[in-house]
Structure formats: structure tokens, C-alpha cells
Structure 1
Amino acid sequence: MCFSVLIVDDEKMPREILHHYIPWEEYGVRSVYEAQDGESALELASEKKPDIIISDIKMPRRNGLSLAEEVRRILPDCQFIFLSGYSDKEYLKGAIRLKAASYVEKPIDLDEIRGVLTEVCEQLRSTRRPDPEILFFRGGPDNTEPLNDRIYTPDDVLFTRLGEAVRHKNRHETEHLLEPLYRELLRCEGTPPDTIRSLYCRIVFLFINAAESRNLAPVAAAGNDSLLKIGGEETLSGLHAILKSLCVMYFNALESEEPDPLTRVNQYLEAHWSEPELTVLDMAQALGFTNTYLCAAYKKSCGRTINQQITQLRLEHAKDLLAHSSLRLYEVGRRVGYADGKYFTRVFTRETGMTPKQYRERHSHDN
């Protein structure tokens, strides 16, 4: 996440010191602007929309407090750091009233300014929501480079082939068509996200219709649930994960009209592994087994418990998100079914021998 800063002071030296002796790039600041009085600063703020304003208080043509009042009307989230060579209680009261990030007395202490900037930038990062379209295509707030303007053009031939593959139970062909479609959509960042959501709903209906024609009621119900999830999903990768989960469930259901407990559990987990509230007891009831029987039968079939399988599924998806997205660690945990970020870290470390942060550092080059 990148920021911009406006430095306002009627004296040239403080402006130059702040501009040239603060390592702005360390704070994620890409643009630094200067103004020599409050009036010109207001014009520049209206044009450049800075995230942070470092301003002297006593200035000609508009003082710092008056500047802050006006800027807050057009940029309510802009953070102010006030500078003053005067220990005036009235100025301090004004700064407090305007909810300034800090009030720093002159002469300028660069270490103090750096400390304040660290706090302000962290506050901005924690409260600012990323652009929804950047979030949709890139999965996180850190990459703020402009999106390209490519727009996806629906391919009727591809959808005809996809429909035939689903109806004719051709798993390989279905997966072969879905993956390139996903990669192409990722490249077409000018496509409205709602258009892509509609496209994914269209594909989900292919699975619902095919499941209903084969009396695969659980798959059809999962398809309807997928439609609801698609409407609220914020990322393209999330949409694709929903579709892949449904695809796996559909073709697994086709492989046996009456699958054994192992297959039925794995099908259920493919559809529900990311749900924080998932329990073995609820799954056993949904599948029509007693909890004791299902746990024993599953472990006998594959040599591990259902909870171990849930953990394995979640951590495999977590590894993929850590290596290929810029999501924060607690966000990764939530995506894979752990509502508590600290618990996610403990489980990940226990099972892999390294922390999520260490795993990301080792594998981010694969992205």
C-alpha cells in the first residue's frame, strides 16, 4: 500500500529537511509535495489528495489549523502531523480538536518525525480498504499498480464444449477448459467484476443442471450454495476456488452411485473444508452416519483421522495462498477456515515445521 505526503511550511529549510532527509520509501511513500503557505497547500491537497499532511501551524494566508479544517471536509481520512515553534496551549487544543496524528515542536527532530510516521502509516494500513477491483483481480491491497484495460470477450465455443464435457462426465476435459479460462480472466483486468461473477454463475448452472438430471441432490444443493457464495466473493481467485470445489464434488459423485464412507467424507470436505464451523459430528449427521462409525471407518480406510484430513486440506490451500498472494497472515487463516489467526499460526507451524511467515519467504519466488 503506497501513500503520498504534503509538507507545508512558510520556511524553506524545514521543508527541505523533511523532503530530503526522511527515507520516505521505507514508509511506502511514493510522492512528496511541498507548499509554502496554507492557501497554496489547500489547492495542492485538493488536486493531489495526500494521505498525510505535515504542516506548520503559524503561516501566512491560512494557518495550519484552518488548513486542516478545510482539508478534512474533502479528505476526511487525511492524517495531520502539526509542527510548531511555539508551545502554545491554544494551538495544542486546536490540534487535539482536529484529531491530529501528532503535534511536534520545532526545531525538527528527525527521529521523532520518523516515529510518528511509522505510527501514522500503520494506522492508515489498518484502516484503509483496498480498491475493490484491485482486490478482485490481485487478491490483496499491496499491489496498487493501475489495472490494465483488457476486457474478456465471452467465448461461446468454449461454453458449448464445457457444457458437453460436464454432461458427458468428462472430468479431464472440464478441468482442461476451466483452468485456461481462469488464467485469461486474471489477465483481463478491465472486465467488470460483476460480469465475471455472472460468468461463473453461468458455469455453476451447468453443474446444477447436470446434477439434477442424474439425481445428485447433494451436488445440486452445493451448486445453489455456490451461487450465493459467488455473489459475495471479493476475489477472482475465490470465485475459481468455489467453482473448483463444486467441480470436484460433481465428478466424485459420478464415480460411484453409492460411494463408500471414505469417498463421501472426502467429497463433503472438498465442499466445506474452508468453513470455520465445520465439525466431524455435523458432517456425520449430514452424511447419515453415527459419529463413532464414520471416524472409525475413515481411519481404517486411509490411516488418518478426519480432523487430520481437514487440517491437511486447509494447510495445502494456506500454502498456496502464502506463496501466491499478498494476503496478511490472519486473512490467509480466515480463508482456509481458521477464525483465530494465532491458532492458525500454531497449527501451521506444528504441521510444517515452519511459521507461515517463513513459508512465504521461502516460496514467494514461486509466484
Structure 2
Amino acid sequence: MKVLIVDDEELTREGIRMSIPWENLGITEVYMAEDGEEGLKKALELLPDIILADVRMPRMDGITMAFEIRKSWKQCRFIFVSGYCDKEYLKSAIQLSAVNYIEKPVEPSEIVDALKKSILQLEEEKRRMAIEEEYRTHFKGVLEEIPEEDLVPVSWQSSMHMADKIEHYIQENFADINLSLTQLADAFELTKQYMCWLFKKEKNETINQCIIRTRLKWAKEYMRRNPFVKIKNVAAKAGFADSSYFIKIYKKYEQVTPADYLRECNENRPEAKI
């Protein structure tokens, strides 16, 4: 991983270079530039992963440099350093999706934290791109008529834990009898095809299997705690629209009927043994 330090103060540049444990962070190459123009030239030549830049510099300031770099090299992450509390610069840094905006005098620990955050974002981006490529390869030929923007929705780019989020949504909404692939796809702004592929890849089960497993797990615990409950009520509370289907599915997964399980729970009650 490569880092470019851009600062017009030599003491600051050298201080940062000497005080950061680069190798421990997995950073193998550290370059320096003394102003925005040199920083722009080196950035386009070296394509660094992270750029640590002063905001105010002669010839070209750090924000202008960053906007110019972004026109050609969008993958890098920016960390800005400034000795001035300037709201306009801060707004620009936000617009550039800067990882951090650090005020001078700089504390090495602040830079280390910002570098760690940048590295995490870069690793997530690489993983996302790998998943996108695998997805396109997996559905090669099938996806030719689907618009590019629908292949991997923008919402996926904001989170690398979409499968976990989908599973959590199911756990929170399993009792909804209308819970479906369509509802989930709409909730997460994903195409059903991509959502199902991604979930199966990450969780080793289909979304429908996850829904059923979650509902049955809840139903079993509910019956254990309430051994005199009516089966149709359990089915309804667990999100099954039909009690006959609930009985069928429960027997398939648990090897016993809900009625048999309720009977067993009732017989095992402490008061039932007295």
C-alpha cells in the first residue's frame, strides 16, 4: 500500500514520515511532495492509495489538488491537515469524502487512526469489487440485457455487511406474514437476483431458508415456554399464514409435529412430575 505526504513544511513532512509505524500498518511505500502542484504530478504518476495533504500550500492548495486528482484517480483516500479552522475548507473536505480533517499541531496517534480508517475503507472497496466481478462472472450471459447500474446497486457500495443486515431484518420482521424476497429487495434497494446470490454466498443458505429457520426457532422456543398454547396461534405469531403449512414445515425440520413437541414440553414441566 502506498501513501503520499504533501506539505510545504519540510519539518512537518519529515516529522510525519519518521513518527508513523508504516510497516505495522501494512504501508510499504511512502512518498513526499512539497506543494500541491508537485503532489498532483506525483499522485497521477504513482497512484497512491492514501494522500495525506496540508490544506494551505503555495502554488496549489490541498483541496484544489485533491479535486484535480479525483478527476483521474478516484480510488485514493484523502486525509487533510491544516493549521487553520476554516469552515469552507472543511466543507470541501466533506465533499471529497475525506477520511479525516486534522488540525495542526498534528498528533501521530490521530494520523495513525485516520490511516487505519482509510486502510479499512480501501480493503472493503477491494472486497466489494471482487464480489462484483464474481457476480458478473457467475451470471455471464444472463445479465447482458440488464442495465449496468442494476447489476450491483449503489446501496451495496455503502456497506460491506449487506448479508448481515438482511439477516438482522429477517430476525426483526419474521412475524410479518408478508415478509418476502420482494419486500427485502425493496427495503435494501437491491435487485432480487443479486440479493439472493449475495446472501447465499455469504451465509451458505437461501433467504427463504433463513426466514423459515428463524420462524421455526422462535416457534419452538415459544412453545417450550407456553406448552398449552394453540398451534394455530403459534403459527400466526411466527409469521405463517397457514397453520397446516406450519405443521408440515415444522415436522420436516424438527422430525416431530408441533403437537408432539407441545406434549413433550407439557410432560417435562416440573409440576407435571409431582
Give TM-score, length-normalised by structure 2.
0.48
Give TM-score, length-normalised by structure 1.
0.37
